[in-house]
Amino acid sequence: MTMLYRLDAPARDVARTFGADEREDPWAGGHVAPGGFAPVITAGREFIAGPRPDLRAPRRMVPRLWGVPPPPSAMEARPVLSVRNVESPFWIGNLRNSEFRCLVPATAFMEWGKGTDRDGKRARHWFACADQPVFALAGVWKDSEVPSFALLTCEPNAVLRAAGRDAMPVILPADSAAQDLWLRGGWDRAQALLVPYASSMMLERE
């Protein structure tokens, strides 16, 4: 499970990449850890109930906390960082309603690997995308005690499997049509995006 990622770009550059208004988020760049606030891109309809209007609201870039409070029945009180079962009753209502889906901008993400590094510490692997310096992870948001979000996961590609992982975050394609499908499309079409990113497009960094 992804436990750390980076967004090494300021708010203005991130907003320009995803066609969003950055005035609500002063992000300056850096690491994002569980329980920390980070920018997410929404379709701009968080507070609109009822039928979808003919005119599209502009995308919004807003800060949200990484980690959704668990359901009351959960055995552990730790926030939920990722969605591994999209059919779970805890998630399905949000996923089927596109207003709750979001883009989570990143420039790299970290996964724990097998074995230890040269210092005897647990191995870390940082991954980035060769074809997009700033990429979008598929996310879903909830509002309960805090405005929070979680990342969608999928089967690992060959690069992540080689690092010993059994899942990876969903990285959306660079084209705006795919991103728009995640933000606005029906769940029957949007869930087709939950696939491993091409191994040939992955970079491993220190």
Domains defined for the chain, CATH in brackets: 4-44+58-205 (3.90.1680.10)
DSSP-derived letter for residue 189 is H
Residue 2 has pLDDT above 90, yes or no: no
DSSP codes joined into one string, 107-162: SEEEEEEEEE-TTSSEEEEEEEESS-SSEEEEEEEEESSSEEEEEEEE---HHHHH
Quick one: pLDDT at residue 49?
A: 47
Report the first-to-last Cα separation within the chain, whole angstroms.
18
Q: What global pTM score does this model have?
A: 0.92
3-class DSSP state of 53? coil
> Strand pairing partners for 129?
202
pLDDT tens for each residue of 40-71: 999 976 654 445 555 577 899 999 999 999 98
Mean pLDDT computed over 73-78: 78
Listing from the earlier edge strand, what are the strands of the sheet with 202-205?
A: 30-32, 4-7, 108-116, 122-129, 202-205
pLDDT tens for each residue of 97-130: 999 999 999 999 999 877 667 776 788 899 999 9
